[in-house]
Amino acid sequence: MRKYLLIGASAFVLGAGSMAYVSQAAIASAQPKTQTYKTLQLFGDVVDIVERQYVTEVDDQKLIEAAIDGMLTSLDPHSGYLNPDSFDDMRDQTRGEYGGLGIEVTSEDGVVKVISPMDDTPAFKAGVKAGDFITAVNGESVLGLSVNEAVKQMRGKPGELVTLTIAREKTDPFDVKIVREVIKPKSATAKMEGDYGYLRVSAFNEKTTDEAEAALTDLRIKNPKMKGLILDLRNNPGGLLDQAVGISDLFLDGGEVVSQRGRDPRDIERYNARTGDAAGGLPMVVLINSGSASAAEIVAGALQDRKRAELVGLTSFGKGSVQTVIPLHGGIDGALKLTTARYYTPSGRSIQKTGIEPDLEVAETRDEAQRIANRAFQFSEASFRNALNAEEGKKRIGAHEPAEAPPTDFDTKTGDFQLARAKDVLRHGSVAATPKLPKPAPKMAAVVAPRSPNVEPPATKK
């Protein structure tokens, strides 16, 4: 009986202590909330003043949507608010069919920047390139607009002409005329490159894994003596996480593909491959470059860490964060796109801001090698001012002479040097066994601070 009483007394003491702690915590937590409510009242006051005193009438809905989007984009470049129209557009895009030009864009300091044009789309055929800045649409400036607002101007009825004003490094701004189409990008295609299979994956939408598996199966049936496989993820802006896992699963015989970790260190979610290799164990090389982002980096990192493939090309974009789309009131009021986790490769690497480095670094052109040596301008996650931090102590590789670049007798207009070197790696059996080319000699190797070329920031009062 005494034992039970002692236990009861201990429980009472602990309970009383806990209540005291909870009371103190409640008081402490109430103080920040009070400040939050005060700030929200300030926001209401600002909206009221703008409504009454701005030089022209304002649209309250647009004003508040812009404020929400501004709040979210201040967190990191990939969080934002999707109004109902933008939310519908996003769902169309992930389904693999929508109307538009065929470019993946983001925003940096109020300027719309191209992450990558999608293969065989109007923008791709018109020569739009990763890293280009879009400063105007149909003669109307898009400087200072959110990505959602700029995209809305670029999308519309198929068959209509759209004029984009492009700012590109080392060139004056120029106009590109593009006719809108219903975009149905085939995200995976395959063909033979000599003795080797070539699988191009240009994006990760709901159809990607099925398309890739079908294309690879057909290629192997038609070419039973295929000696190896090249997976091309260059200028792939990413997409759906489950499709990145699906593509990795095609080539991994079980084991981890990627993990994602949220705010709580204990909150870890792991994604694993199933048994079976759709490539039948064929030796593989993966092509990447600075336009390979997000889901593309998950695949490249998984195949590299698991020793399933070697990587050829340039360091990838470095987007190692996961965005969760959270519908508001069932999507009636749009949705939040919120960064909720970082992802990690099977060996535990976070590549946020740093990117995935290839096993054999190869510049596509001699000019690209020169830019890497000069650091005149390189577009990556690290170039965003408010990007999530990398792991402590880790930094993206700076200005340097790339290991390889096309020799002077290689015609880069008709040939693909990175692809040629990928075939060399397969031919010799590994990167280590592949004879290396002389390092390109740059004219200058000075570090120049990256800037937005030929783009004037919106005027501000001084």
Q: Is the pLDDT of residue 325 over 80?
A: yes
Q: Is the pLDDT of residue 462 over 60?
A: no
79 is catalytic: no
Instruction: Give residue-wise pLDDT tens across range 332-369.
Output: 999 999 999 999 999 999 999 999 999 999 999 998 99
Alpha-carbon span 68 to 142, nearest angstrom: 19
Confidence at residue 152, expressed as pLDDT on a 0 to 100 scale: 81
Measured in degrees and rounded to the nearest 5, phi and psi for residue 248 equal -60, -40
Helix (H) or strand (E) holding 6: helix 2-53
Alpha-carbon span 368 to 361, nearest angstrom: 12
At 310 the three-state DSSP class reads strand
305 is catalytic: yes
Q: Is the pLDDT of residue 133 over 60?
A: yes
Q: How confident is the model at residue 153 (pLDDT cuts 50, 70, 90)?
A: confident
CA 211 to chain centre: 21
171 Cβ contact list (under 8 Å, min separation 6): 454
Q: Note the pTM of the prediction, 2 decimals.
A: 0.73
Out of 113, 319, 337, 353, the active site residue is 319
Out of 202, 292, 294, 452, the active site residue is 294
Residue 272 burial (10 A CB sphere; 0-12, 13-18, 19+):
middle
The single-letter code of the amino acid at 328 is: L
Among 31-35, 209-213, 389-393, top mean pLDDT goes to: 209-213
Out of 69, 132, 232, 305, the active site residue is 305
Q: Report CA-CA distances (Å) from 268 to 106, 248, 258, 341, 408.
A: 28, 19, 10, 9, 49
